[in-house]
Amino acid sequence: MIFSDFAKALGQLGDARFMRVMLFGVALAVALLTATYAALLWVIETFTPGSIDIPFVGRVGGLETLLSWGSILLMIGLSVFLMIPVASAFTGLFLEDVAQAVEERHYPQLPPVPRQKVLDTLIDTANFVGLLIALNCVAVLLYPFAGPFSPLLFWGLNGYLLGRDYFTLVATRRLGREPAKAMRKAYSLRIWAAGVLMAAPLSIPLINLAIPVLGVATFTHMFHRLMRQ
């Protein structure tokens, strides 16, 4: 059933509102990656004698490196690690637009819901992104001990966090905060599995740019399906 929710979300990817939000998200992600990489170059230039060699990229250091083709490859690699927090922030900021587009097409009988307060959305998003970054920093220490199972640890942890975040935000729109948390706990294993389905593609460069939109849409379908049970 999770895959049917994802298939419905994928079938709506051409929706104008989906595309608008996704293009804005791509711009946001590229801006973040560029800023992160520029900061990395500044650190290299400040604390090393000019530049260093990075495999498959070459000499790294200075503004000219930021504009090189090698930088594009390195930024794509950085996206594997940065898209998880970007997706979380993105979900909180653009949840309403994507969820509303899904409900208008697939659940037109539902009454409209008031938009959440911007401040509440920003606080919830900041709290979750902070938790996600903190737990992933701890997980980095465990990856060397996990060996070939490191990707499973990465997907399992972030699948749990993303599923928890996506579902709670989607359910809160219709039920309110406390009932949404109760529903999330009741279906925790299914929500975790759906979160892993979102987390795995987030580690694939370029493909990961579409996942935040698809994630919100998938969990919107999942929420309404569970409500009918």
DSSP state of 207: G
Total number of domains constituting the chain: 1
Between CA 128 and CA 20 the distance in angstroms is 24
Cβ(222)–Cβ(2) below 8 Å: yes
pTM: 0.77
Query: Alpha carbon of 73 to those of 67, 69, 202, 203: distances in Å?
Result: 11, 7, 17, 15
Cβ(28)–Cβ(208) below 8 Å: no
Between CA 134 and CA 156 the distance in angstroms is 16
pLDDT in tens, the chain (229 residues): 888 999 999 889 888 888 888 787 777 777 777 777 677 666 666 665 555 454 444 454 544 444 455 556 666 666 666 666 776 676 667 778 888 899 999 999 999 887 777 777 777 777 777 787 788 778 878 888 888 888 888 889 889 988 988 898 899 989 988 999 999 999 999 999 999 988 888 777 667 777 888 888 999 999 999 998 8
Between CA 218 and CA 7 the distance in angstroms is 8
Secondary element (H or E) of residue 53: strand 52-54
**pLDDT given at position 225:** 95
Question: CA 197, 143, 195 angle in degrees (round to 5)?
Answer: 15
Identify which of 158, 145, 139 has the alpha carbon closest to the alpha carbon of residue 200: 158
SS3 59: strand
The phi, psi pair for 56, rounded to 5°, reads 70, -5
Secondary element (H or E) of residue 52: strand 52-54
State the residue range of the domain holding 165: 2-228
End-to-end CA distance of the chain: 12
